[in-house]
Amino acid sequence: MVDIGESLVGAYMRQVRRCHTVAYNSRPPTGQGEIDVIGVAGHGDDRQVWVAEVATHLDGLLYGSGNADTVQKMASKVATARAYAAEVFPDADPIIELWAPNVPAPLMAALREVDVVVVGNEDFTRRVNELAALASASTRLSGDDAFRMLQLLTHLRGEGRPQFSSP
C-alpha cells in the first residue's frame, strides 16, 4: 500500500521532474528492506534516476532512541537504495533522497555523514508548494492520488479555502 507521503513524492517526480516511470515500495532482490519511491526520467545517456526514502514523521524524524540511531537507520536505507539502483540501473548515477517534512536541526547536521540528499523542512515545504502550484493550474486526472488531492484543495471555492504559498 502506498502511503500518502510516498504518493506526494511520486507525484512530484511525475509532475515536476517529468518522470515517465514512478514505482512504489520496490523490494530489492535480497528481500531486505524496501525502496519507497523510484523515479526515472529520460532515456539512454539522458536518463536520470531518483531513489527516495520518505519519512512523514510530523513530530520530527526519529528512528530508535536518538539521532545516532536515526543516522544509522538512514545509512542502512541509503546503502540498500544504492545497491538496488546499481543492480537495476547499472548505467545510471542515481540521486538518493530522504524526504521528510520535519528534520530537527541537529539531525540535519548529523545526516551530512550519510551520502543522501535531504529534502527536509523548508525544502520539503517548497517542493510541496511547487506541486500545489501545478495542481492549481490543472484539472486533468494524472493517476497520482496526492496530486489529485492537491488539485481538489487548490480548486475549492468560497471562504476558508486553504492557501498554499512559500514558507
Give the mean pLDDT of the chain.
90
Q: In the chain, what percentage of residues exceed pLDDT 70?
A: 96
Residue where the block lists cell 487548490: 154
What pTM, to 2 d.p., does this model score? 0.90
Distance, in Å, from the CA atom of 62 to the CA atom of 60, rounded to the nearest integer, reads 6
Q: Higher-confidence residue: 142 or 162?
A: 142
> How many CB atoms sit inside 10 A of residue 130's CB?
15
Listed by start position, the domains of the chain span 4-154
**CA pair distance 28, 91, nearest whole angstrom:** 18
- Cβ pair 102, 119 in contact under 8 A: no
Better pLDDT: 110 or 62: 110
Q: Is the pLDDT of residue 149 over 70?
A: yes
Q: What is the pLDDT of residues 74-105, one digit of tens each?
A: 999 999 999 999 999 999 999 999 999 999 89
DSSP 40-83: EES-GGG-EEEEEEE---TT----TTSHHHHHHHHHHHHHHHHH
- Cα separation, 22 vs 33, in Å, equals 18
Q: Using CA atoms, how far apart are residues 122 and 71, in angstroms rounded to an integer?
A: 20
Banded pLDDT at 124 (limits 50, 70, 90): very high
CATH classification number, 4-154, choose in 3.40.50.10540, 3.40.50.970, 2.40.10.340, 3.40.1350.10: 3.40.1350.10
Is pLDDT above 60 for 166?
Answer: no
Per-residue pLDDT for 167 more than 70? Answer: no
